[in-house]
Structure 1
Amino acid sequence: MVTYSTENSVTTFTVTKEVFDSVYDDLIATKENDRVLLVAWNTDLIPLKPNDVNVRNKINKLPKSVMNDKNALFIFDDRLPHDLSSQHQKTLVLAKGTSVDTDDQPVAYVGGIDITNDRWDTIYHNATAIRDEAGIYFRNKGWVDSSLRIHDPAAKDVASNFLARWNSPYLSSQDFIDDLVQFEDPSYSPLPSFDYSSPPSGNQNVQIVRTYSCKYKKWEFAPNGEKLLPHSRIKAIKNAKNFIYIEDQYFIVVPELLDALMKVMPGLQRLLVVVQPPEFMNKCGGFENYMYENIQPIKEKVPNKLKMYSMKPDLDIYLHSKLVVIDDVYLSDGSASWNRRSMTSDPELDANVVDS
Structure 2
Amino acid sequence: MHKSGSMPSPVLKEGKTAWQIARADKARILIDAAAYYNAFMQTARLAERSIMILGWDMDSRLLLNREASMSPKQRQISRAPEPLEGEPVQLLTFLNQLLEEKPDLKIYMLNWDYSVIYALEREAMARIKVFWEANERLEFQFDNNHPLGASHHQKVAVIDDSVAFAGGIDLTGQRWDTPMHLPDEPGRHRPDGESYDSFHDIQFMVSGEAARCLGELARNRWMRATGNIPAPPPSRNIWPEAVEPWVENVDVGIIRTDPAFDGRPEVRESEDFLKAAIRSAGDYIYIENQYLTSTSIGEAICEMLEKPEGPEVVIVTPRECPGWLEEATMGVLRHRVVRSMQESDSYGRLYLYYPSVDGNDIFVHAKTLIIDNRLAFVGSTNLSNRSMGLDTECSVALDSALLEDAKQNGGSERKRILEGAIQDYLCSLLAEHLGQNEAAVKKSLQQDSLAGTIARFRGGKRSLVPLKTRTEPLLDAVIPQEQVDPEKPIQVEKVLADILPLEP
How far is the alpha carbon of 1:292 from its aligned partner?
2.2
Instruction: Give 1 or 2: higher helix fraction.
Output: 2
Kindly, what percent of the aligned residue pairs are identical?
20
**What do residues 59-109 of structure 1 show as CA deviations (whole Å, max 9, x unaligned)?**
232234xxxxxx101000011111x321111000011xxxxxxxxx61111
Query: Residue 232 of structure 2 aligns with which residue?
Result: 193
2-structure distance, mates of 1:195, 1:327 = 38
Query: Residue 102 of structure 1 aligns with which residue?
Result: none
Query: Residue 275 of structure 1 aligns with which residue?
Result: 317
**Given the two structures, how large is their TM-score scaled by the length of structure 1?**
0.79
Which secondary structure does the structure 2 equivalent of 1:11 belong to? strand
Q: Which amino acid aligns with 2:132?
A: N
Q: 1:93 aligns with which of 118, 143, 158?
A: 158
CA contact (8 A) 2:156 2:165 kept: yes
CA contact (8 A) 2:24 2:207 kept: no
What is the Cα-based RMSD across aligned positions, in Å? 2.7
CA contact (8 A) 1:242 1:270 kept: yes
CA contact (8 A) 1:108 1:158 kept: yes
CA contact (8 A) 2:23 2:208 kept: no
Query: Residue 289 of structure 2 aligns with which residue?
Result: 248
- Structure 1 position 131 matched with structure 2 position 170: no
**Any unmatched runs of 5+ in structure 1?**
65-70, 96-104, 172-187
2-structure distance, mates of 1:30, 1:160 = 17
1-structure distance, mates of 2:198, 2:172 = 13
Query: Residue 335 of structure 2 aligns with which residue?
Result: 292
Distance 1:57 1:332, change over 3 A: same
**What do residues 20-52 of structure 1 show as CA deviations (whole Å, max 9, x unaligned)?**
111111112223xx2100001111389955545
Query: How is 1:1-356 mapped onto 2 (pairs within 5 angstroms)?
Result: 3-31=20-48, 34-44=49-59, 48=118, 49=121, 51-64=123-136, 71-82=137-148, 84-95=149-160, 106-126=162-182, 128-132=185-189, 135=192, 137=194, 140-168=196-224, 171=226, 189-194=228-233, 196=235, 202-214=248-260, 216-218=261-263, 223-252=264-293, 254-265=294-305, 266=307, 267-276=309-318, 277-279=320-322, 280-285=324-329, 287-303=330-346, 304-312=348-356, 314-355=359-400, 356=415
Q: Which amino acid aligns with 1:239?
A: S
**Given the two structures, how large is their TM-score scaled by the length of structure 2?**
0.57
1-structure distance, mates of 2:379, 2:249 = 20
How far is the alpha carbon of 1:208 from its aligned partner?
0.6
Q: Which amino acid aligns with 2:313?
A: L
Distance 1:63 1:5, change over 3 A: closer
Distance 1:10 1:132, change over 3 A: closer
Report how many aligned residue pairs link the two structures: 312
CA contact (8 A) 1:128 1:141 kept: no
How far is the alpha carbon of 1:302 from its aligned partner?
2.2
Q: Which amino acid aligns with 1:232?
A: F
Q: Return the index of the structure with the highest Cα Rg.
A: 2
CA contact (8 A) 1:243 1:270 kept: yes
How far is the alpha carbon of 1:198 from its aligned partner?
8.2
1-structure distance, mates of 2:212, 2:34 = 25
2-structure distance, mates of 1:156, 1:39 = 15
